[in-house]
C-alpha cells in the first residue's frame, strides 16, 4: 500500500514512511491510494472470528509487507487485548463502550498500535524519534500510556490549559520518563497549529527526527476501524444494519468508520455528533465548509474548530457533497442539552454516559425519531469518571472511580507552561 498527500504536492510513501513522517512534506495528510475491499466471507463469518483475527485482517492491506506477519500479529494482539462490549440502553439504541483500555478512552487502540509500529521501525536506529502531539483531552493520556518507555522515542504533548478535564490532565502530566507535557495558554486549535508549524519547519526537522501521534498519523487513524467491526460482530440483527453515531471533534474516528464501511462493513448511516463546534455539522446541512475558532464546552475532546481529518472524508468521497450527504448526517448539541441528556439517560435507562456519549446519544435519538424502524449504536468514547467534575453535579451522585484512576490522582502534576507561540515551542524542542 502506498500513501499520497491530500495536498498532492509530495511523493507517495509506504506505511513505514507515512507513519514516521506523520505529516507529508507539503503539509497534507497521508491517504491510502486505494481502500481495500474485504471479502463477503469475512463479513458473513465475522461472529466466528477473534478480535485479533478481525483486526489483523482489516489492517494487513494497509501495512503490506512493511511489518513481518508475526510481528504485526503481535502488535495487533497487544492493541486489542481488552473488551469492546455493545450494551443495550433502549430498545433501539445501543452503546459501544470503548473505554475498557488502560487510559479508559477509545484512543488507547490507535495509540497502542502506533507506538508498537514505531517501536518496531526504530529498532537499531541511531537517532531518537520525537513524537509531537496536540490533544484536546484523551489523546494525551492514551499516547503517554502507549509510548511510555518505548526505547528510542521521546514524546512531547501539547494541551490547552484549563480546557481538559482534571483526570485527563493527570493522565498526561504525571507520567514522566520519556513523556513531556506542555501546557499552552490557548485552545486546542492553537496547540494543533503549533504542531503543524513544527512539521513544516525545515530547520527543526533537520535537527530532530519528528513524527506525530495525532489522528493525522495513519498508524493512529486506521486502527480505529476495528471498533466498527467489533460493533457489527455483536449486532444481532444482521439483516438490519445499524445507524452509527460518533461523537466527533477532529473527525479521525468517524472517518475510520467510513473507511470500514467503504471496505464492506454493513452500516445503514453515519451521524457526526458535534457540540457547539459545528463546522462539519453546518457543512452537512449546506455543502459549505467554514472553519471556526474553537469554543470551549463540557465535551472538551470535541472542541475543534477546524478538524484536520475532514479533508480525508472529502478525499474518501472525491469531494462530492451529495455522496457524503447520502452516507452521513450531522447534529450540533448544546451544553445544556448535553447535561439534560446525560441526566435523562441515567434516570430513565440506568446507563451513565460521559458528556461526549451524551452528545452522541442525543444526536442518534433525534435521527431515529425521523427514521422509524432503524436502530442505532452510539460510541461511548470515554469512561464517565474522566469527566466526573461535569457528570457528578448532573446526576447528584459520585462516579465510581476505577483502580486505574485512583493511582494517578495523587501524583504530582509536571508540565511546562507556554504561550501559544511556535517560536517558544521550537526553542524548547531544540534545547
Cα 284 from chain centroid (whole Å): 21
Contact (Cβ atoms closer than 8 angstroms) between residue 213 and residue 220: yes
Q: Is 380 helix (H, G, I), strand (E, B) or coil?
A: strand
DSSP 389-419: HHHHHHHTSPPP--HHHHHHHTSPP--EEE-
pLDDT in tens, 59-76: 999 999 999 999 999 999
Cα–Cα distance measured from residue 331 to residue 156, given in angstroms and rounded to the nearest whole number = 33
Contact (Cβ atoms closer than 8 angstroms) between residue 161 and residue 183: yes
Cα–Cα distance measured from residue 20 to residue 8, given in angstroms and rounded to the nearest whole number = 19
Cα–Cα distances (Å) from 245 to 134, 218, 366, in that order, read 25, 22, 11
Quick one: pLDDT at residue 152?
84
pLDDT in tens, 222-277: 999 999 999 999 999 999 999 999 999 999 999 999 999 999 999 999 999 999 99
Catalytic residue selected from 16, 51, 88, 107: 107
Q: Hey, what domains does the chain have and what are their CATH numbers?
A: 75-106+221-400 (3.40.50.1100)
Cα–Cα distance measured from residue 304 to residue 84, given in angstroms and rounded to the nearest whole number = 26
Of 149, 139, 74, the closest CA to residue 108 belongs to: 139
Quick one: pLDDT at residue 35?
97
pLDDT in tens, 166-201: 888 988 898 888 999 999 999 988 998 999 899 889
Active-site annotation holds for 426: no
Q: How many CA atoms lie within 13 A of 137 on its CB side?
A: 28
Quick one: pLDDT at residue 300?
87
Whether 118 has a pLDDT exceeding 80, the answer reads: yes
pLDDT in tens, 326-353: 999 999 999 999 999 999 999 999 999 9
Amino acid at each position: 500500500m502506498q500513501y499520497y498527500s491530500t495536498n498532492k504536492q509530495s511523493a507517495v510513501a509506504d506505511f513505514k514512511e507515512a507513519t514516521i513522517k506523520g505529516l507529508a512534506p507539503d503539509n497534507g495528510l497521508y491517504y491510502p491510494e486505494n481502500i481495500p475491499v474485504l471479502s463477503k466471507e469475512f463479513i458473513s463469518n465475522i461472529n466466528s472470528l477473534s478480535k485479533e483475527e478481525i483486526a489483523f485482517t482489516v489492517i494487513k492491506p494497509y501495512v503490506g509487507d512493511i511489518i513481518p506477519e508475526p510481528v504485526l500479529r503481535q502488535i495487533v494482539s497487544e492493541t486489542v487485548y481488552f473488551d469492546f462490549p455493545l450494551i443495550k440502553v433502549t430498545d433501539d439504541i445501543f452503546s459501544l463502550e470503548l473505554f475498557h483500555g488502560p487510559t479508559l478512552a477509545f484512543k488507547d487502540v490507535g495509540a497502542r498500535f502506533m507506538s508498537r509500529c514505531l517501536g518496531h521501525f526504530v529498532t537499531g536506529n541511531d537517532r531518537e524519534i520525537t513524537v509531537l502531539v496536540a490533544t484536546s483531552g484523551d489523546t494525551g493520556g492514551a499516547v503517554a500510556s502507549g509510548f511510555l518507555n518505548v526505547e528510542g522515542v521521546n514524546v512531547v504533548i501539547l494541551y490547552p490549559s484549563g480546557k481538559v478535564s482534571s483526570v485527563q490532565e493527570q493522565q498526561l502530566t504525571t507520567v514522566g520518563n520519556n513523556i513531556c507535557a506542555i501546557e499552552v495558554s490557548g485552545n486546542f486549535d492553537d496547540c494543533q497549529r503549533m504542531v503543524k508549524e513544527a512539521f513544516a519547519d525545515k530547520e527543526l526537522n533537520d535537527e530532530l527526527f519528528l513524527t506525530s501521534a495525532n489522528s493525522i498519523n495513519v498508524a493512529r487513524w486506521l486502527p480505529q476501524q476495528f471498533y466498527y467491526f467489533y460493533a457489527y460482530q455483536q449486532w444481532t440483527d444482521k439483516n438490519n444494519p445499524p445507524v452509527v453515531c460518533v461523537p466527533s471533534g477532529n473527525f479521525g474516528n468517524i472517518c475510520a468508520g467510513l473507511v470500514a464501511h467503504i471496505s464492506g462493513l454493513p452500516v445503514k448511516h453515519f451521524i457526526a455528533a458535534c457540540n457547539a463546534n459545528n463546522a462539519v455539522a453546518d457543512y452537512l446541512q449546506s455543502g459549505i465548509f467554514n472553519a471556526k475558532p474553537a469554543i470551549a464546552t463540557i465535551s472538551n475532546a470535541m472542541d475543534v474548530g477546524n478538524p484536520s481529518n475532514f479533508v480525508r472524508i472529502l478525499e474518501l468521497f472525491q469531494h462530492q457533497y451529495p455522496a457524503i450527504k447520502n452516507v452521513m448526517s450531522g447534529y450540533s448539541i448544546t451544553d445544556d442539552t448535553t447535561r439534560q441528556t446525560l441526566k435523562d439517560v441515567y434516570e430513565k435507562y440506568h446507563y451513565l454516559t460521559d458528556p461526549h456519549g451524551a452528545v452522541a446519544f442525543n444526536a442518534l435519538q433525534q435521527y431515529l425519531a425521523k427514521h422509524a424502524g432503524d436502530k442505532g449504536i452510539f460510541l461511548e468514547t470515554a469512561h464517565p469518571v474522566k469527566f466526573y467534575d461535569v457528570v457528578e453535579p448532573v446526576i447528584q451522585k459520585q462516579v465510581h472511580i476505577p483502580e486505574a484512576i485512583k493511582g494517578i490522582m495523587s501524583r504530582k502534576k509536571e508540565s511546562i507552561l507556554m504561550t501559544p507561540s511556535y517560536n517558544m515551542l521550537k526553542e524548547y524542542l531544540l534545547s
